[in-house]
Structure 1
Amino acid sequence: MFEPTLYSGDPAKDYPLLHSQLAALMEGEPNFIANMANAAALLWHGLKDINWAGFYLYEEDTNQLVLGPFQGLPACVRIPLGRGVCGGAAAEERTFVVPDVHAFPGHIACDARSQSEIVVPLMHAGKLIGVIDIDSPIQNRFHAIDQEWLEQIAELLMRGSKI
């Protein structure tokens, strides 16, 4: 049984805890959807000042990202590769940290409250699988520590799940 944790609000303390909790939840569980669902829940409860945390999965035949497990308000279901923050990060296969989404060309506003966003690609064997997407109602919410740890969480998901 998972015991809820009171997170401190300090990323330097909370990210290592989130990473270890996700690793424990994934132990012996190869199902990618189940692992993403638990990751979304952990990020939602563990990160301060966010309003959406979840995943989009790459659908190669349509060249789109399709909504996966998440926490927050209902979201856009399909995002063309190259469009918006998620589509851009996926197309370029690199993390996008956007301090002000309203200044980002082509931003897709699924939740009008979102002010900043971080998107981390999920890569497996050199192929795009999807992205981790986290939004915040605060401008300039995401920094290098968020990028570092979310990229580690992405690696953990790719290593520990059957893709």
Structure 2
Amino acid sequence: MATAVAPRIFRNFINGEWVESRSGKAYENRNPANTDELVGMFASSTAEDADAAVDAAKEAYKSWRLVPAPKRAEILFRAAELLVQRKEQFSKDMTREMGKVLAETRGDVQEAIDMTYYMAGEGRRLFGQTTPSELPNKFAMSVRQSVG
């Protein structure tokens, strides 16, 4: 006799926590290639949920912006390493969720890996510039600071 498995519940990640939608509602997501397969229950998010996420991100930015760019790059590099380790599982999950063929979702995950490594490298490339000035004993200098 088969036992029923509770569906996986997907919540919103806001301010470092997994939270229910403020609507209190969720919707089913089924595998488009096999509609008998329930991928999970997803939070039916509202504009209020999105506003809360944006507000939390704005608040987190105040301290995140003070972290040196090379240190933030290390965090992105570690994220890319996790994507590499979990590539096959992410690919299979995406195939179940969207109905894409596995070869395509593997490519999608690889694109995320490539972009994350690339952006990690940018943490070491926030160079400024110096330019000559018309005034004696003066120079003009720019310092680049990342926004997020």
Normalising by structure 1, we get a TM-score of: 0.23
Q: Which has the higher contact order (CA 8 A, sep 6+)?
A: 1
Task: From the CA coordinates, give the structure whose radius of gyration is larger.
Answer: 2
Normalising by structure 2, we get a TM-score of: 0.25
Q: Which has the higher strand share?
A: 1
Q: Which has the higher helix share?
A: 2
